[in-house]
Amino acid sequence: MTMCLLCHREIAAPLTLWQLINFQPITEQIVCTRCRQAFSAIDPQLGCQSCGRLSDQKKCSDCERWSSEIEFSNRACYTYNTAMKAYMSQYKFNGDYRLRTVFQLEIQREIQASKCDVVVPIPLHPDTLAARGFNQVEGLIGELPMLRALTTISATKAQHQSAKNRKQRLTTAQPFKLAVDSMQLYRKNVLIVDDVYTTGRTIRHAALLLKKAGATTVKGLTLAHG
Ligand SMILES: [Zn+2]
Ligand SMILES: [Zn+2]
Mean per-residue pLDDT of the chain: 89
Residues whose beta carbons lie less than 5 angstroms from ion ligand 2: 48, 50-51, 60, 63
**Ligand 2 center to residue 73 CA distance, Å?**
9
Q: 30: CA distance to ligand 1 center in Å?
A: 9
Read off the pLDDT of residues 137-165 as tens digits, 9 standing for 90 and up: 999 999 999 999 999 986 544 456 666 66
Confidence category of residue 99, pLDDT binned at 50, 70, 90 = very high
Residue 220 Cα to ligand 2 midpoint, Å, equals 12
CA of 88 to the centre of ligand 2 (A): 22
Same domain, 155 and 129: yes
pLDDT for residue 158: 46
Residue 155: what pLDDT? 57
Residues 23 and 98 in one domain: no
| Residues whose Cβ atom is located within 5 A of ion ligand 1 | 4, 6-7, 32, 35
Q: Are residues 139 and 29 both part of a single domain? A: no
Rounded percentage of the chain residues whose pLDDT exceeds 90: 69
Taking 80 as the threshold, does the pLDDT of residue 13 lie above it? no
**102 and 129, same structural domain?**
yes
Query: Per mean pLDDT, which range of 19-33, 64-78, 110-124, 202-216 is the poorest?
Result: 19-33
Contact between residue 223 and residue 87 where contact means Cβ atoms under 8 Å apart: no
> Is 73 in the same domain as 166?
yes
In this prediction, residues 89-95 reach a mean pLDDT of 94
CATH number of the domain enclosing 86: 3.40.50
Instruction: Answer whether residue 92 shows pLDDT above 90.
Output: yes
Residues 127 and 112 in one domain: yes
- Please state the pTM of the whole predicted model: 0.87
Same domain as 192, residue 85: yes
3-state secondary structure of 24: coil
**Burial class for 173, CB neighbours closer than 10 Å (0-12, 13-18, 19+):** exposed
**Distance (Å, rounded) from C-alpha 102 to C-alpha 116?**
23
Task: Kindly give the distance from the C-alpha atom of residue 23 to the centroid of ligand 2, in angstroms, as a whole number.
Answer: 37
Distance CA 171, CA 160 (A): 14
- pLDDT category, 24, cuts 50, 70, 90? low
Interatomic CA distance for residues 47 and 69, integer angstroms: 21
Whether 24 and 114 map to the same domain: the answer is no
CA angle 43, 48, 51 (to 5 degrees): 105
If pLDDT is split at 50, 70 and 90, which confidence band does 41 have?
A: very high
**Ligand 1 centre distance from Cα of residue 33 (Å):** 7
Query: Are residues 85 and 156 both part of a single domain?
Result: yes
d(Cα 225, Cα 221) in Å, to the nearest integer? Answer: 10
Q: Mark whether 9 and 110 lie in a shared domain.
A: no
Highest mean pLDDT: which range of 25-34, 113-122, 146-155, 164-173: 113-122
Q: Phi, psi (5° rounding) for residue 54?
A: -65, 120
57 shares a domain with 21: no
Question: Of the ligands numbered here, which is closest to the C-alpha atom of 39?
Answer: 1
Nearest ligand, CA of residue 10? 1
For residue 131, report the phi and psi dihedrals to the nearest 5 degrees: -70, -40
Ligand nearest, relative to CA of residue 52: 2
Range of the domain at 25: 1-37
Q: Are residues 54 and 142 in the same domain?
A: yes
Total domain count, the chain: 2
In sequence order, what are the residues at sequence separation of 6 or more whose Cβ sits closer than 8 angstroms to the Cβ of residue 30? 2, 4, 5, 11, 98, 101, 102
Ligand 2 center to 81 CA (angstroms): 17
